[in-house]
Amino acid sequence: MSKIHVSTSINGDAVEYLCDPSETLLDVLRNRVGLTGAKEGCGSGDCGACSVELDGRLVCSCLVLAAEAEGKEVSTVEGMADGEKLHVLQQKILDHAALQCGVCTPGILVAAKALLEKNPDPTETEVRYWLAGNLCRCTGYDKIIRAVMDAAAEMRGA
Amino acid sequence: MVTEYKEGSVGAELGQREFKVVGTRPPRPDGVDKVTGRALFGADLTAPGMLHATILRSPHAHAKIVSIDTSAALAMDGVKAVVTSDDFVKQGGSGNQDTLDNCMARGKVFYDGHAVVAVAATSVMVANAALKLIKVEYEILPHETDVDAAMLDSAPVLHAGRKFRNIPEGNNANVSGFWEFGHGDIDEGFAKADIIVERSFKTAATHQGYIEPHATLATMGPDGRGEIWVSTQGHYMVRDLSAAFVGMETSQLRVTAAEIGGGFGGKTTVYLEPVALALSKKSGRPVKMVMTREEVFRASGPTTSSSTDVKIGMTKDGRITAGQAKPRYQGGAYPNITAMLGAMTAFASYDLEAVQTQAWNVLTNRPKQAAYRAPGAPMAIYTVESVIDELCQKLDLDPIEVRLMNAAKKGTLSSYGPTFDEIGLVATLEAAKAHPHYAAPLGPNQGRGVSCGFWFNFAGNTSVSMGINEDGTVSVIEGNPDIGGSRASISMMAAEELGIPFDKVRTIVGDTNSIGFNDVTDGSRVTFSVGLATIKAARAAIQNMCGRAAQVWGIDADAVDWVDGAAVPTGHNAGEFPPMTLAEIAADSAKTGGPIAGHHEVNADGAGVSFGVHLVDVEVDPETGFTEIKRYTVFQDAGKAIHPDYVEGQMQGGAVQGIGWALNEEYIYGEDGKLQNAGFLDYRIPVASDLPMIDAVILEIPNPGHPYGVRGVGETGIVPPLAAVANGVSHAAGVRMSELPMSPPRILAAIDGAK
Amino acid sequence: MRFESPDTIEQAVELLNTCDGISRLLAGGTDVLVQLRLALVEPDLIVDIKNIAGMRNITAEDGGFRIGAAVSGAEMGEHEGLVALWPGVVEAMELVGSTQVQGRATLAGNLCNASPAADSVPAMVVANAVARIVGPNGTRDCPVIDIPVGPSKTSLAKGEVITSIYLPARPDNSGDAYLRFIPRTEMDIAVSSAGVNLTIDSAGVVTQAQVSLGAVAPTVLVVDDAAKAIIGTKLDDDAISALQAACSAACNPIDDKRGTVEFRTKTAGVMAKRAALIAYSRAGGSK
């Protein structure tokens, strides 16, 4: 089976990889590029743990073929912090204790970041519907929603 | 907003202690790793030369394995090893043998998804291709997945000779367990009642639904030594079972707990770990195994489904005269004791003169059940709390007043035997009654539900070790995987006891070679037991440090106290010396006798039971049967909330899992005995837009069994929601619901049926 | 498996037409990748059409809009003109999956997946949407309703590709709406659904209407009796009841893990009733 050569950008870095035609972007991020922040919770787009941005658009990386990333820009949770400085959303998730096991957290962060880029002042209902594709089984979502709302307020003020 | 309610009058001196660290809300030590993607979960580790293994699973609900031919798979390029049940060591005890047989079917497959053969290959793709070349000949047997049907004489028998309790006459071979609890004269109790309600209830099997599928990486060399990296609630358990199943000595297997992406009881046993180890043993290479979501649903343990008859008698003014519950649980093809826990917990909230519970465990062709947050209690308490609500409705009594009138308290002979010590049910009910939620008006098609909940809480075998570092910091090693922030709470208790700031302590979860044995992270035991061992380990270190100070000061060790993180003379008679801080003592430790450490090993007791009360407002769409949760408030006794954020988190998370159980989650089997909804699309756990904020009100009625008064808080929160939501829906829809989940078709059918 | 990402539609058609084995077209991929993952299909060829010119565009045409086959639901929702003209179609598309799925899933893909429960199809059908198809024999236009012929089956011939969906111009005082029933608030497949498109006159009387139902038959149902029940009315209670009854009478659903025959039949009528009221309001009608 011949592999496909892909040139792409991941978190601003030029990256090249060889992938099988059937491999997903998630497979490649985790197994070939060494970025294990995105998680596979279902492999069918139902849990959101693998959320990344592809050319600025929020997607499930399990529903993207690795070959499709050619010439695109991929952003993952690993690219959110600026060196030692956490993104406001990362800080607010910590401040609000908005994680327990933490396995859904990378997906929640990437999704919430995409929301606030599009809508800096979301209502609670808008946050809840935007994040409906990010399953969390630990928290009941309460503290996550509060953290995202608080981050939005701080980012608007900044 | 989350509000805190502190009950100052209860608990005497325990309630009076002024804490400096405990009760604050510092950021969790693993937090930055988890928000940056650095944290390593089960599937995140790789090893050089690693193989990937996948499993061939039974397509049948019940069948005899006539033959397995793996030759073509083994001959395939890239395939390095194949294992079947023949590659594992037969176990002495039936419990361990069941666990092994569940990991790899022996002779028979008992459910759709039961593992039959595992293949290790150079990639997942190659391994999956190899599975297709394996020929398994099955002799298909009749199957049964329903608990009541499996008890009929006509039901197919799964195992002969697996009855492990005194089973009354008249039960078939699928009934593997029977238990009975209670006290008082039940007939006399019912005779005193002004009104009796009898109802039958059913609850569906639900899955823990952790977002991280089971994952492990095992390696074993020709020297017979092994290593396992795994997402588990108990790496000592993984070590003991995996070593036994492949026939190695425990000391030769080291298991390291990965960050765990949720467990809720579902990761308290082994599935992949012994298989990966056996494959590594055969291939001589590291082997990684990760379940797909479909495998998680088909082959890892859901909870039991249940069918229960309940009968409760009450006087006109609301006093319960007698209570009887007969839960029948199925938890798959192997015996388990979840039904017993159901029978024990059903009436635990009440102070009753006459109570009787009888429970049956029934074998069916479903996956081997695993613990799920307060196993057995939610479905049993759901039935009792539903009937109490119906009695209140019929007698036009306030549901909280009636519960207060009958509430268990200190000195109550519990329905399962022991007499309660200091408990928080009355305080919890009073808090609910006084809360604005309880008085808030309801709109059209809305209903309010109330339910109590109870869980025992476990304690158990625990080891903790801590080193006092020369720079005045402290390194703590505990042996329980952190599933909800326990490294934070353990660090807080160490800091509290030592009298130093939280950020001077780092707690890690050690591997199985680091410290003594630890029971699994279950039964809400960690904050209690590991906390207790941490406090005692700190006290051992303090004693040592006091000795060092005494040595420096030239006074008797007994004349030194530990106050606010420093050694001080006990009084003027002991001598006049300025306090010697932990950092000062540690800095000079090499000169005063060497390293300073503390450790504690204990089979802990005194966990302290926990009660909760939930209030929920629901709105039911009368045209579709859709239920919306409008408002939800949790009241729970935490004993002492070490880190209130994580206590609230447990209460909120438990409530939402219970809401899912009440409304939409269920294992759906077809006539063919196959699971029809093995994915998050059709196994519907609550999503963010389904829910309102979950208000959490923490009560603190100290547990006399813990130095700081801690009670476990992890499980109680899932117990009340089933009945709270059911009672709310029953009021909103105007018809009493008696089957979970209350999915829209079921609610609409009930509404239409009541017309 | 081979992955191809051609630059022209002709190349795509050629690839598909000359593939001897199983081929799959990839636009948003939200159905194809799930099928791959669950090993429901093992294609020999995947043809990604996103690099073909025009596939990702929404263009105004004769008072309506032509939506390229690779335009995502999120892009539709961000297009003000499209949302203003056909709000029901856009809202139907936006109900498909999560925000993440919205970033990828397409109208044409939702149509070609040929699920009886596809959300966008009942809305497209009442909008008289037309699919443009390019194949080995050239280009043709086909009403959307004629594309699905059964669960997972379409009328497309080998080598044929839907390149765009056309949503036509509509008279003033028109409104459309789509509603579905799901057990949760998000992330579910429709258990029953309804699309309604209508036009009213200056007095608020419905002058023309179309009503469709999803998830209650092997393909989308167009319920003429339901449309007739509201034409000539101001959606008074009797008209609404008649519409609801006509919809329930038209249902021919199955019992499955997602819903019973009774439940689907009943809720399909409820969805149609509620969708009609929304469409009426969008048309400018007031009740």
**Closest residue on chain C to B751 (Cα):** C263
Is the pLDDT score of A2 beyond 90?
A: no
What is the distance between the alpha carbons of residues B375 and C154, in angstroms, rounded to a whole number? 48
User: Which token pair is B413?
Assistant: 């002979």
Find which of B1, B33, B34 to mutate to test the A interface (most A CBs within 10 Å of its CB).
B34
Question: Nearest to residue A46, comparing CAs of C37, B31, B551?
Answer: C37
Q: What is the pLDDT of residues A113-139, one digit of tens each?
A: 999 999 999 999 999 999 999 999 999
Residues paired with residue C65 on neighbouring β-strands, in sequence order: C60, C167
pLDDT of residue B507: 98
The domain A88-157 having CATH identifier 2.40.128.20: the answer here is: no
Note whether B626 contacts C270, CB cutoff 8 Å: no
Distance, CA of B636 to chain centre: 17
Q: What is the pLDDT of residues B607-661, one digit of tens each?
A: 999 999 999 999 999 999 999 999 999 999 999 999 999 999 999 999 999 999 9
According to DSSP H, which parts of B199-267 are helical? 235-246
Q: What is the pLDDT of residues C81-122, one digit of tens each?
A: 999 999 999 999 999 999 999 999 999 999 999 999 999 999
Subunit partners of chain C (3 or more CB pairs within 8 A):
A, B
Residues paired with residue B599 on neighbouring β-strands, in sequence order: B465
Whether residue A24 contacts residue A61, with contact meaning beta carbons closer than 8 Å, is answered with yes
Phi (first) and psi of residue B518, to 5 degrees: -135, 135
Nearest CA of chain A to the CA of B420: how many Å?
Answer: 30
**Closest residue on chain C to A129 (Cα):** C186
Q: What residues in chain C have per-residue pLDDT under 70?
A: none
Contacts of B681 in chain C (CB under 8 A): 187-189
Domains of chain B (ranges; CATH) run 1-8+425-453+610-755 (3.30.365.10), 42-141+214-290 (3.90.1170.50), 144-204+302-408 (3.30.365.10), 459-604 (3.30.365.10)
| C42 interface with B at CB cutoff 8 Å | no
What is the distance between the alpha carbons of residues B348 and B312, in angstroms, rounded to a whole number? 14
Contacts of A36 in chain B (CB under 8 A): 37, 40-41, 43-44
Phi-psi region of B264 (alpha: psi -120 to 50; beta: other; left: phi over 0): left
Classify C174-282 by CATH class.
alpha beta
Phi-psi region of C28 (alpha: psi -120 to 50; beta: other; left: phi over 0): alpha
pLDDT of residue B166: 81
Nearest CA of chain A to the CA of B613: how many Å?
Answer: 17
Looking at this protein, which amino acid is placed at residue B583?
Answer: A
Contacts of C190 in chain B (CB under 8 A): none
pLDDT of residue B161: 76
Architecture (CATH level 2) of domain C51-167: 2-Layer Sandwich (3.30)
Whether residue C223 contacts residue C244, with contact meaning beta carbons closer than 8 Å, is answered with no
CB-count burial class (<10 Å; 0-12, 13-18, 19+) for B102: buried
| A3 interface with B at CB cutoff 8 Å | no
Sign of CA dihedral B297, B299, B302, B308: positive
Looking at this protein, which amino acid is placed at residue C126?
Answer: V
Question: Strand B739-740 relative to strand C2-4: parallel, antiparallel, unpaired?
Answer: unpaired
What is the distance between the alpha carbons of residues C142 and B72, in angstroms, rounded to a whole number? 49
Residues paired with residue C134 on neighbouring β-strands, in sequence order: C139, C161
Note whether B209 contacts A144, CB cutoff 8 Å: no
Contacts of C33 in chain A (CB under 8 A): 24, 45, 62-65
Whether residue B570 contacts residue B559, with contact meaning beta carbons closer than 8 Å, is answered with yes
pLDDT of residue C39: 84
**Closest residue on chain C to B294 (Cα):** C38
Per DSSP (E only), the strands in chain A are 4-10, 13-19, 51-54, 57-60, 73-75
Q: What residues in chain B have per-residue pLDDT under 70?
A: 1-15, 165
What is the distance between the alpha carbons of residues A61 and B171, in angstroms, rounded to a whole number? 52
**Closest residue on chain C to A62 (Cα):** C33
Note whether C270 contacts B624, CB cutoff 8 Å: yes
What is the distance between the alpha carbons of residues B283 and B82, in angstroms, rounded to a whole number? 9
The domain A4-79 having CATH identifier 3.10.20.30: the answer here is: yes
Provide the greatest CA pair distance for chain A.
53
CA angle B609, B615, B617 (to 5 degrees): 155
Distance, CA of B484 to chain centre: 11
As a whole number, mean pLDDT of residues A27-46 equals: 97
Note whether C39 contacts B294, CB cutoff 8 Å: no
Question: Strand B215-220 relative to strand B287-290: parallel, antiparallel, unpaired?
Answer: antiparallel
Average pLDDT along chain A = 97
pLDDT range class, residue A1, cuts 50, 70, 90: low
Domain ranges across chain A: 4-79, 88-157
What is the distance between the alpha carbons of residues C24 and C160, in angstroms, rounded to a whole number? 11
Domain ranges across chain C: 51-167, 174-282
| A95 interface with B at CB cutoff 8 Å | yes
Q: Which residues, 6 or more positions from A66, have their beta carbon under 8 angstroms from its beta carbon?
A: A4, A6, A17, A19, A20, A23, A24, A25, A27, A28
Looking up tokens 């608030």 gives C185
